[in-house]
């Protein structure tokens, strides 16, 4: 356990250094969410006029969803970088050392977490500039960040696992599109829960993206429902454990094919 | 030599290793190997013969379908983590992290093995110095030349002063001078450390020079083992090379030379004829006259002393039924092995 954490720390160091060498990457990854935030918040400004829409500012409603989506999309691609390491033999070299397997995944997830926080800060900053005000205050915003990271963990781990098993970037890309797009649309990211069709609402109850969106939205709301936030975070944590377990196990499959 | 006594202080033991990859590619087909502790042991063999697969199994990267692999007395399958602590590995292709500097690569590798603080720092600087990378320590490996990267690869394998070192074609891609320098460095590092080394190579002179024992491997198993001298002495006499003027039926050539007493191991490839003779100079006139009477025109004839090259060609360039038998006898050397080959040749 201690060895696992220590090794993960070393691996995180390697990935964070890489990140610092190419900060442009963070900005590039932000292009899509910024676009969504700016365009959708303008495009659907009047949506809040629909009777039954709880919040008065669509921007305030949308921001938590966009932060969650950013986490989802930015990290699902995380498997791409492990394939690069596989192709360069770096993974093989580490597998021949006593390093704990889990650290090869956990190190990446740590870097991803740091990237997400930076990106989320930028997105929230942008929303504030655009006039959004979040009643939950700083605590609420930090909780929202936590929600986004907790959603990113299982998906990034899944992406890494698929990458290791298939060894092909194309497969990861296909899987990402196959899984993520439905998860995004079958949620309440863009529309208030009481206004989406019943069947979508029914499905969204089992959608991890929605768990994160609801918890995040609750966290920045005036009167956070702590039970909902806690429950959703717990579910996501459980999913993360499963994800990391899967990814770590994927090394076995990979090693059989080497 | 009884097997048991040797196994005791063998640093690397492989018994009946088998590995089949997806698509029914047989990489190893019952490979046996025994590397005494403290020895520098060479593995040679043609492309795809299973050298890298052997290294991958011994270094815990992948597992064998069957058979046993033991490093420093530890079973590789049963306790891979303990094996990993004992070994250093230099893979066939470079494994350095291109997006980091040389120093960062070495530092992380050291940390993984539990080195820390000033000790780690000293060790990294020492290796950079030894492999002539001090000047470039702070450059990203991405910008390194092939030779520099290779030196870094070797340094990465040595960070933790392993007991057993695996080098899979360490000198590939290096110019002769760099190759020599690399081996000198390895040699120097190993001296006094009683490190066991298993290396693979396609350069026979390298195997001959640095391998105290050599195994020739082909089609996933060992076909001959011995010191370079032993392997050469299996090939008594001289090697005979004849360039034929045109393409001919190999069987016709073999038939026409079959009558000559001291000529053996006749191989015909395209327009080249290869054979062995007890005394080359004496055999040449008879070979020429036999070929002439069979109506075969020739361009040139060369006679050369046995080299490891010949041994390699003999064991891997042609396959005969008793390949295993010949392999066993190779270490013992002498006429016995030669007879086995002769019989095998006829048996085809
Ligand atoms: N990951 C793999 N998947 C499928 N087949 C493989 C794999 N690795 C090796 N092989 C096959 O196993 C056989 C042995 O390969 P190996 O790499 O061990 O040969 P080698 O002796 O190292 O060759 P070389 O001198 O070219 O490096 C080859 O036929 C090769 O195609
Ligand atoms: Mg190889």
Q: pLDDT (tens digit, 9 = 90+) per residue, B171-190?
A: 887 888 888 888 988 887 77
Same domain, B27 and B160: yes
Q: What number is the average pLDDT over the span B4-32?
A: 85
Residue B19 β-bridge partners: B28
- Among A10, A96, A257, select the one facing B60 at the smallest CB separation: A96
Report pLDDT for B8.
56
Domain count, chain B: 2
- Pocket lining: B62 vs ligand 1, CB cutoff 6 Å: no
Contact B45, B316 (CB under 8 A): yes
pLDDT less than 70: residues of chain A: none
Same domain, B80 and B212: yes
SS3 state of residue A147? helix
Report pLDDT for B202.
84
Quote the minimal CA–CA distance from B97 to chain A in Å. 6
A13 to chain B, any CB pair closer than 8 A? The answer is yes
Question: Distance between CA A62 and CA A44 in Å, rounded?
Answer: 10
Contact A12, A105 (CB under 8 A): no
Contact A140, A44 (CB under 8 A): no
Residue A147 domain-assigned? yes
Pairing relation of β-strands B40-44 and B213-218? parallel
Quote the minimal CA–CA distance from A11 to chain B in Å. 8
Same domain, B180 and B278: no
Angle between helix B176-190 and helix B146-158 axes, rounded to 10 deg: 10
Question: Distance between CA A184 and CA A187 in Å, rounded?
Answer: 6
Same domain, B108 and B223: yes
Same domain, B114 and B72: yes
- Taking Cα atoms as reference points, which of B75, B59, B36 lies closest to residue B211? B36
Render pLDDT for A145-155 as a digit per residue (tens, 0 to 9): 999 999 999 99
Same domain, B70 and B195: yes
Residue B339 domain-assigned? no
Q: Which residues of A touch B139 (CB under 8 A)?
A: none
B122 to chain A, any CB pair closer than 8 A? The answer is no
Residue B20 domain-assigned? yes
Residue B203 domain-assigned? yes
- Taking Cα atoms as reference points, which of B213, B95, B212, B210 lies closest to residue B155? B95
Quote the minimal CA–CA distance from A16 to chain B in Å. 11
Report pLDDT for B332.
39
Burial of B332 (0-12, 13-18, 19+ CB in 10 A): exposed
What H or E segment, with its residue span, contains residue B137?
A: none
Residue B281 pLDDT level (bands cut at 50, 70, 90): confident
Report pLDDT for B258.
85
**Model confidence at B324: pLDDT above 70:** no
Give the residue ranges of DSSP H helices in chain B: 3-8, 51-58, 80-86, 102-112, 117-130, 146-158, 176-190, 204-210, 228-234, 250-257, 280-293, 308-312, 323-332, 335-347
> What separation in angstroms does the CA of B301 have from each of B42, B285, B289?
32, 10, 13
Domain C-terminal end among B231, B261, B286: B231
Highest mean pLDDT among A219-233, B258-272, B330-344: A219-233
Residue A12 domain-assigned? no
Distance B201 CA to ligand 2 centre (A): 9
Q: How many Cβ atoms sit within 10 Å of the Cβ of residue A206? A: 9
Pick the more confident residue, A128 or B346: A128
- Taking Cα atoms as reference points, which of A67, A29, A59 lies closest to residue A43? A59
Residue B1 domain-assigned? no
Residue A21 domain-assigned? no
- Measured in residues, chain A has a length of 258
Report pLDDT for A158.
93
**Model confidence at B336: pLDDT above 70:** no
Same domain, B24 and B154: yes
Report pLDDT for A125.
92
**Model confidence at B138: pLDDT above 60:** yes
What is the CATH number for B248? 3.30.70.100
Burial of B315 (0-12, 13-18, 19+ CB in 10 A): buried
Residue B34 β-bridge partners: B13
Same domain, B157 and B114: yes
Question: Distance between CA B150 and CA B102 in Å, rounded?
Answer: 11
Residue B312 domain-assigned? no
Residue B331 pLDDT level (bands cut at 50, 70, 90): very low
Same domain, B59 and B187: yes
Report pLDDT for B328.
38
Residue B59, domain extent: 10-231
B6 to chain A, any CB pair closer than 8 A? The answer is no
Report pLDDT for B4.
42
Residue of chain B minimizing CA distance to A7:
B112
Walk across the sheet containing B87-90 and list its strands. Answer: B87-90, B164-168, B196-201, B40-44, B213-218, B221-226
Residue A160 domain-assigned? yes
Q: Do A255 and B98 touch (CB under 8 A)?
A: no
Residue A26 domain-assigned? no
Residues within 5 Å of ion ligand 2 by Cβ? Answer: B 51-52, 92
Per cent of chain B over pLDDT 90 is: 48
Question: Distance between CA B305 and CA B229 in Å, rounded?
Answer: 13
Same domain, B86 and B174: yes
Residue A197, domain extent: 34-83+115-257
**Model confidence at B341: pLDDT above 50:** no
Average pLDDT in chain B: 84
Q: What number is the average pLDDT over the span B257-266?
A: 83
ipTM (interface predicted TM): 0.89
Residue B340 domain-assigned? no
- Among A14, A88, A255, select the one facing B108 at the smallest CB separation: A14
Residue A100 domain-assigned? no
Residue A229 domain-assigned? yes
Q: Do B100 and A14 touch (CB under 8 A)?
A: yes
Question: Distance between CA B324 and CA B310 in Å, rounded?
Answer: 18
What is the CATH number for B60? 3.40.50.300
- Taking Cα atoms as reference points, which of B338, B331, B332 lies closest to residue B226? B331
**Alpha carbon A20 to chain centroid distance?**
20
Render pLDDT for B93-110 as a digit per residue (tens, 0 to 9): 999 999 999 999 999 999
Question: Distance between CA B220 and CA B122 in Å, rounded?
Answer: 42
- Taking Cα atoms as reference points, which of A91, A77, A18, A89 lies closest to residue A248? A91
Domain count, chain A: 1
Residue A63 domain-assigned? yes
Angle between helix B117-130 and helix B146-158 axes, rounded to 10 deg: 140
Question: Distance between CA B337 and CA B237 in Å, rounded?
Answer: 13
Question: Distance between CA B132 and CA A39 in Å, rounded?
Answer: 56
Domain C-terminal end among B208, B231, B254: B231
Same domain, B134 and B208: yes
Same domain, B114 and B209: yes
- pTM for this entry: 0.82
SS3 state of residue B42? strand
**Model confidence at B335: pLDDT above 70:** no
């Amino acid at each position: 356990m201690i060895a696992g954490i220590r090794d993960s720390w070393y691996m995180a160091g390697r990935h964070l250094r890489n990140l610092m060498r190419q900060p442009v990457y963070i900005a590039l990854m932000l292009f899509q969410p910024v676009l969504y935030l700016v365009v959708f918040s303008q495009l659907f400004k009047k949506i809040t006029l629909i009777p039954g829409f709880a919040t008065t500012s669509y921007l305030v409603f949308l921001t938590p969803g966009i932060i969650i989506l950013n986490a989802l999309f930015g990290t699902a691609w995380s498997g791409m970088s492990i394939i690069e390491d596989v192709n360069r033999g770096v993974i093989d070299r580490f597998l021949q050392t006593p390093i704990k397997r889990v650290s090869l995944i956990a190190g990446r997830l740590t870097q991803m977490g740091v990237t997400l926080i930076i990106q989320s800060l930028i997105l929230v900053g942008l929303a504030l500039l655009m006039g959004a005000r979040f009643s939950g205050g700083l605590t609420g915003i930090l909780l929202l960040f936590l929600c986004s990271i907790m959603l990113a963990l299982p998906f990034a781990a899944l992406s890494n696992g698929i990458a290791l098993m298939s060894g092909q970037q194309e497969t990861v890309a296909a899987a990402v599109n196959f899984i993520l797009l439905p998860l995004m649309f079958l949620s309440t990211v863009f529309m208030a829960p009481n206004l989406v069709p019943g069947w979508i609402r029914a499905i969204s109850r089992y959608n991890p993206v929605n768990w994160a969106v609801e918890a995040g939205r609750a966290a920045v709301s005036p009167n956070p429902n702590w039970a909902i936030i806690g429950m959703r975070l717990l579910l996501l944590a459980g999913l993360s454990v499963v994800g990391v377990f899967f990814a770590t196990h994927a090394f076995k499959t990979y090693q059989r094919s080497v | 030599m009884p097997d048991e006594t040797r196994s005791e202080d063998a640093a690397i033991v492989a018994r009946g290793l088998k590995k089949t990859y997806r698509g029914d590619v047989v990489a190893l087909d019952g490979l046996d190997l025994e590397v005494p502790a403290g020895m520098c042991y060479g593995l040679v063999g043609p492309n795809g013969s299973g050298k890298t697969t052997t290294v991958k199994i011994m270094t815990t990267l992948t597992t064998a379908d069957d058979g046993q692999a033991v490093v420093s007395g530890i079973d590789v399958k049963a306790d891979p983590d303990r094996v990993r602590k004992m070994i250093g590995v230099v893979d066939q292709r470079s494994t350095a992290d291109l997006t980091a500097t040389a120093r960062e690569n070495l530092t992380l590798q050291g940390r993984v093995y539990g080195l820390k603080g000033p000790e780690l720092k000293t060790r990294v600087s020492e290796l950079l110095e030894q492999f002539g990378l001090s000047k470039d320590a702070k450059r990203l490996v991405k910008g390194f030349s092939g030779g520099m990267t290779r030196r870094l690869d070797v340094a990465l394998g040595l960070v933790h002063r392993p007991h057993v070192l695996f080098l899979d074609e360490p000198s590939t891609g290096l110019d002769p001078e760099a190759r020599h320098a690399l081996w000198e460095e390895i040699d120097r590092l190993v001296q006094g450390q009683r490190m066991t080394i298993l290396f693979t190579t396609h350069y026979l002179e390298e195997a001959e020079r640095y391998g105290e024992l050599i195994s020739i491997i082909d089609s996933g198993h060992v076909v001959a083992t011995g010191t370079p001298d032993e392997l050469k002495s299996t090939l008594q006499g001289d090697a005979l090379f004849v360039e034929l003027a045109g393409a001919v039926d190999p069987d016709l050539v073999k038939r026409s030379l079959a009558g000559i007493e001291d000529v053996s191991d006749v191989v015909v490839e395209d327009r080249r004829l290869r054979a062995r003779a007890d005394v080359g100079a004496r055999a040449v006139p008879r070979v020429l006259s036999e070929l002439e009477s069979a109506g075969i025109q020739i361009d040139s004839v060369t006679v050369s002393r046995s080299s490891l090259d010949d041994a390699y060609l003999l064991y891997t360039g042609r396959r005969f039924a008793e390949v295993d038998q010949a392999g066993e006898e190779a270490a013992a050397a002498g006429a016995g092995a030669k007879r086995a080959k002769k019989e095998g040749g006829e048996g085809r």
